[in-house]
Amino acid sequence: MNILLLGYGKMGKTIEQIALERGHQIAGRIDVNNQTDLANLEPDDVDVVIEFSSPESAVTNIKYCLERSWPIVCGTTGWLGHRTEIEQLCEERKGAFFYASNYSIGVNLFFRLNKVLAKFMRDYPSYHVSMTEIHHTEKKDAPSGTAITLAEGVMEHLPNKRRWVTNEAGNEPVEVSDDAIEIEALREGAVPGIHTVRYESDVDRIEIKHVANSRQGFALGAVIAAEWLAGRQGVFGMDDLLGSGE
């Protein structure tokens, strides 16, 4: 396949390496320094797009690709206030759009484990649920998309939790009401990603944690998603690729 990379930072470069190893070609590499080069690509030059740019660029990038009938795999987080708009455009254009807050197979298994644990904890209201996410200092959005997905998984099964709030290191603490899940967002060094979900009572604590050792798992998942998306039409996510697991 001819893969267009939108966003050519550390993740884009890792995706390129894995795509080439799997026998694909790179149709273009677009980042903030050469955005005008995007207009030079013809529709037939690109089989699928992998988009890992920035929250500020993602919506424009996704619309551009859908309007040119390019299937697009998006891994950028922080733009989801426009998600309904993007999904409607995909439907109107009969396009193909794949979004995941995290493309790691291990993280997606962790998402499922998180939901199972939340189901168990539903009958034990004495336990207080909270989360911590740690990422590298270059990550611009907080909390991470992965942490938001985890919070949504908890809220799906704990009816007394209706929202999440973020407490970022260095900022004024935000008060956490009983109906909210606190997400502590930390930025440290070159950490690829650590996510912890904890349930704590007066007598003990239950924790589940996912630790990413490198970007390789995220990048491989994005390339696999691009391979899977080719020839399809609609809006998809990791449950479609992996199966619901139910």
Which residue bears the tokens 């891994």? 75
CA distance 227 to 245: 21
Say if residue 99 is exposed, middle or buried (CB neighbours under 10 Å; 0-12, 13-18, 19+).
buried
Q: What is the DSSP string of 177-243?
A: -TTEEEEEEEE-TT---EEEEEEE-SS-EEEEEEE---SHHHHHHHHHHHHHHTT--EEE-HHHHH-
- Is 76 within any annotated ligand binding site? yes
CA distance 226 to 47: 9
Which positions are annotated as active-site residues?
Answer: 135, 139
* Cα angle 22-23-27, degrees, rounded to a multiple of 5: 110
- Is 77 within any annotated ligand binding site? yes
**What distance separates the 2 farthest-apart alpha carbons in the chain?**
63
- Is 149 within any annotated ligand binding site? no
Say how far residue 209 (Cα) sits from the centre of its chain: 17
Helices (H), ranges, the chain: 10-21, 55-67, 83-92, 105-121, 145-157, 216-229, 238-242
- Is 146 within any annotated ligand binding site? yes
**C-beta atoms surrounding 130 within 10 Å:** 19
- Is 8 within any annotated ligand binding site? no
CA distance 243 to 207: 26
- Is 102 within any annotated ligand binding site? yes
Handedness of CA 46, 94, 12, 140 (dihedral sign): positive
Annotated binding site for (S)-2,3,4,5-tetrahydrodipicolinate: 136, 145-146
Q: Which residues are annotated as a binding site?
A: 31, 75-77, 100-103, 136, 145-146
**Residues in the annotated binding site for NAD(+):** 31, 75-77, 100-103
